[in-house]
Structure 1
Amino acid sequence: MGPNVSSFPPSAADHPLPDGPQAALLGCLIGLSRATEGNEHKVTPDMDLLVLEALAAGLAETDSIRPEDLITRAKEAKRQLIPLCYDCASPCGRNNDYDFSGFPNQPEEKLLPKVRLLQALQASALRTWSSVKNYESTPSPAYMDLVYMILYAIGRDDWGPAELQPILERSNTL
């Protein structure tokens, strides 16, 4: 069982927020999670492992994978899910990568749950990625569905506490 989100400190200001290449990588993963909606049948185990590796990369001090390399791989995975979107003459933006520049400017009641979700997700991804790398396990489809849901929720600037609370509760199962 994962960390209880209520055990995290009460202020988002107490936590470092993603910036630089790590923010770009997380934004790309959010874009990938958006692309999975309606395309669940196209998601491959390799895509799932890429997401776990990328989420863990920011926490694993021994990994030598550069965020830029993971971004390239994530963008290619997204292209596999939604190839027609890349050739669209009138892109709708639905599958765009998330821009973290405005993330810290959200009201605290939106920011804090998202920071808690991100922390729980990254900690869980690091544990899961370590098991996968050591051939000890593979992530279940239900686990990966929750990973994609959390990434999607973090990227929804219009979601407030009412929309985020059920996802926070589910994140306790990570």
Structure 2
Amino acid sequence: MQGEKVISALIGLTGAVANNGKTEHTDQVVREAVLQLSDSSREAELVEKIHTEKHRIAPDCATCTHPCGNTSDYEIEKLRQAEKSVQDKKEEMLLAMKQYLSESETVPETVYRGIAYLGYDLEPESYEEIITELQMSCR
């Protein structure tokens, strides 16, 4: 999957958002990161932006001595170990997010939920719900 480090960081950012809310910059950081997932030359820069935003949202998490894992970057190896049908649906969901964000300046809750879903091995139908919501919003 392209942009694995960015995806890993985005999953951690969505955990911070779920627990603490967004700043005025969060949507733009998420939008830029999702749209640039395939640009490997920007991967380190995007991860840095995501981490900076995550630390704005949840500053104590950066120095926590007993991290709970809610805002940690996702262990991308878990993504690689998922069943092929789940990996395919996650790829399809990422494409739907990119398509939506390429046509809209707003970042809806559906995108944040989709990013969070990337961190779980759910039934393929769960990913399909996000895909459908995004596709319906593009029309």
What displacement does 1:65 show?
7.0
* Matches for 1:3-152 after TM superposition, within 5 Å: 17-18=1-2, 22-40=3-21, 43-59=22-38, 66-128=42-104, 138-139=105-106, 143-152=107-116
What displacement does 1:167 show?
2.2
In 2, the alpha carbon distance for the partners of 1:92 and 1:99 equals 14
Larger relative CO (CA 8 A, sep 6+): 1 or 2?
1
Q: Secondary structure at the match of 2:25?
A: helix
What displacement does 1:59 show?
4.8
What displacement does 1:105 show?
2.6
User: What residue number does 1:5 align with?
Assistant: none
Letter of the 2:44 partner, please give it: E
In 1, the alpha carbon distance for the partners of 2:78 and 2:19 equals 27
In 2, the alpha carbon distance for the partners of 1:49 and 1:56 equals 11
Letter of the 1:148 partner, please give it: Y
Aligned 8 A contact 1:55 1:126 in 2: no
Which of these two proteins has the greater Rg computed from alpha carbons?
1
Q: 1:169 to 1:123 in 2, by over 3 A?
A: closer
In 1, the alpha carbon distance for the partners of 2:10 and 2:46 equals 9
In 1, the alpha carbon distance for the partners of 2:99 and 2:77 equals 23
Percent of aligned positions with the same letter in both sequences?
Answer: 23
What displacement does 1:103 show?
1.8
* Structure with the bigger percentage of helix: 2
Cα deviation, 1:21-54, whole Å, max 9, x if unaligned, reads: x2111211111112110322xx123221111111
Aligned length: 137
Question: What TM-score comes out, normalization by structure 1 length?
Answer: 0.68
Letter of the 2:68 partner, please give it: C
Aligned 8 A contact 1:31 1:95 in 2: yes
User: What residue number does 1:8 align with?
Assistant: none
Question: What TM-score comes out, normalization by structure 2 length?
Answer: 0.83
Q: 1:161 to 1:66 in 2, by over 3 A?
A: closer
Q: Secondary structure at the match of 2:19?
A: coil
| Structure 2 gap ranges (5+) | none
